Structure 1
């Protein structure tokens, strides 16, 4: 698939040439000089772990009266050839512009200092050398993990409470960028719609794989689609939370806003409870940890949304979001990308035969599996097993049905040692 060029008046060759670290630094120096004044110089450059195909660099800033930061982070996101992926950069820039306007106490991540859409580079303040949430969850004991999750709930809650009611400001920033890049506007709309397609396709993948999806689960999956775009408890959400993109230093920072938007906040909560779908953890979130996490979040948002203290109502909302995450994860693993989901949805997923899904859903008795298959199946297991445990603790009439369904899917993909 050929990507759509991003046009903001810069030289066209910058859209097709992959930049090396030296070139990234050169562009960043020019951006900072134009943005802040003076002649900015970067040195002591080191490469950090990136997100996907991104190149992420940390650089020291030469002493300057024009720029107060001692170090900055440079993120370069080359074109992937996937139109929907490449359109994500505008969303990330708009998200950082929006969070820049928040007070430091509630700002969820670093500050955007400069950007170049054509050259696909953003320059951010440095979040420091804190541990990633992934490292903390993997290597800390029970009590420390509980405190870590309590702090995460509080951080998410403060961000949600501080941004509730500010959706128009975010949409204005995003619309301004899209006006400057009209060639991406349609792609951007398709990208947002693809999340709903992914949920729907996940339901049909299960049916095609021989797993019956109860009417109650289908209804809640449809409700999940609705809550992606409408609802009363909406705030700024990173949405696609991943523990390796959450930095804990002097405060908790959320990185990567490629999917950030105003949505039902339950999706952020469900993402954590599900054990971060599409991220295989060695130690999934326990029921006790989930309770601590949710309680700390509620303490931060209950003044904004008093209904958050209604345990049954909140439990149902989170269950709906968990179903959305579980179904969309199936789709993304099956089709490889949201572009693949959109293309396949147009060809009627439910018309396909069950044998087209052997790697995803064949029983454990049909082993052996490749290492990649085992990782995918473990991720499915963790997500659906978390859905089963959470739904089983609910008191709504449909929750036992959801729990039994999730248990069936988890049993299908579980390795013998995980049952």
Structure 2
């Protein structure tokens, strides 16, 4: 957990009180801050609502960005929470936005409680429990995607509105959801990365990476994503699976989310559960498909779904490797980012195992062996 200086906490509390007071139209007082940790660029506190003139919960969560956070990041989080909060209660993927202020870079959210983190559940030695959690994860992704399909224009409008400052000026246009720009750079540097680890990457494999990259801007199955849907950003409470951290929320092809989950969760599995990784991956994908297939009947075809997930997963595994080799700390906050070479090599082994595309599986085995030599021999 991040340790936050007392003066920073006092400043965040004072600003959050002002934001809530303006939102409520009467004085709100909060106290008893509990540090929930943050990304390093943000302070996240659970606070008690002491003076409650409106129907606020007894506790709320305050998230405050520092001055080094990018404007795009703050704007996207505010717009993403506004968009998600406007959804029907049963379709909200996570906490509700209570108040926000762009100039002070602060958000006030409903408190999801302590719950159980998905990353902890995956480490359970009860394989059946892990299976239920993974299936619930897939269902929650599917519900989020089904509820937001067709809402891209509304989200874009919220981005523009959220970018208006109090004095009527607008911030710079938002051009990127963050990770898509980094993925584009990783694909552009394909030849450089391949040379660095001593493997040959065919034009066919590069085409797979290009197709994965295209899922950000195109794709047949576009829906809202909180973007970092890895296990570290999931809480399980009485209401089920809850997604947290909407800093780079965006619309993109929904298969990117499923593939992101498939790429990030196997490394967190306990010893008994890791032997059933393939089965768990199938359970997650099938649970997701059951939720979205009424909207996207093409996904009922196993080959169509398998090919899309292979394409997206290949992109994620490549990006994670690029981050590792380039020592790019800008990915530190993503579940995909890791400083552990064992995780990176395992992802290539998992990709080779799961892919029915010989172009992908052959390169995955080659890269995995090359990384093994580079890091462990």
Shorter-chain TM-score range: 0.7 to 0.9
In structure 2, runs of 5+ residues without a counterpart are 1-5, 332-337
Post-superposition offset of 1:209: 2.8
Check whether the contact 1:37–1:66 (CA below 8 A) recurs between aligned residues. Answer: no
- Structure 2 matches for 1:99-138, cutoff 5 A? 99-138=84-123
Q: Deviations over 1:349-404 (max 9, x none)?
A: xxxxxxxxxxxxxxxxxxxxxxxxx943123113222211211xx3xxxx022112
1:139 is aligned to 124
C-alpha spacing 1:122/1:389, structure 2 compared with 1 (3 Å) = same
2:363 is aligned to 405
1:319 is aligned to 310
User: Does 249-258 or 85-94 show the bigger shift?
Assistant: 85-94
Post-superposition offset of 1:335: 4.8
- Structure 2 matches for 1:154-233, cutoff 5 A? 154-180=139-165, 182-185=170-173, 188=176, 192-202=180-190, 204-233=192-221
Check whether the contact 1:199–1:325 (CA below 8 A) recurs between aligned residues. Answer: no
Give the distance between the partners of 1:190 and 1:311, measured in 2 at CA: 31
1:90 is aligned to 75
Please point out which of 288, 291, 294 is paired with 2:279: 288
Name the SS for the 2:340 alignment partner. helix
Post-superposition offset of 1:55: 1.4
Q: Given the alignment of the two structures, is residue 329 of structure 1 paired with residue 326 of structure 2, yes or no?
A: no
Give the distance between the partners of 2:249 and 2:312, measured in 1 at CA: 16
Check whether the contact 1:80–1:86 (CA below 8 A) recurs between aligned residues. Answer: no
1:255 is aligned to 244
Q: Given the alignment of the two structures, is residue 235 of structure 1 paired with residue 242 of structure 2, yes or no?
A: no
Q: What CA RMSD, in Å, does the superposition of the two structures yield over aligned residues?
A: 2.8
1:23 is aligned to 11
1:269 is aligned to 258
Q: Deviations over 1:282-320 (max 9, x none)?
A: 546810001111111111111000111110000000011
Give the distance between the partners of 1:329 and 1:316, measured in 2 at CA: 20
Check whether the contact 1:207–1:213 (CA below 8 A) recurs between aligned residues. Answer: no
Aligned residue pairs: how many? Answer: 359
Q: Given the alignment of the two structures, is residue 381 of structure 1 paired with residue 345 of structure 2, yes or no?
A: yes
C-alpha spacing 1:414/1:130, structure 2 compared with 1 (3 Å) = farther
2:334 is aligned to none
Post-superposition offset of 1:56: 0.9
Give the distance between the partners of 2:170 and 2:134, measured in 1 at CA: 41
Check whether the contact 1:203–1:218 (CA below 8 A) recurs between aligned residues. Answer: no
Post-superposition offset of 1:415: 8.4
Give the distance between the partners of 1:243 and 1:220, measured in 2 at CA: 26
Give the TM-score normalised by the residue count of structure 2: 0.87
Check whether the contact 2:180–2:216 (CA below 8 A) recurs between aligned residues. Answer: no
C-alpha spacing 1:281/1:63, structure 2 compared with 1 (3 Å) = same
Check whether the contact 2:81–2:96 (CA below 8 A) recurs between aligned residues. Answer: yes
C-alpha spacing 1:19/1:303, structure 2 compared with 1 (3 Å) = farther
Give the distance between the partners of 2:88 and 2:178, measured in 1 at CA: 32
Check whether the contact 1:132–1:247 (CA below 8 A) recurs between aligned residues. Answer: yes
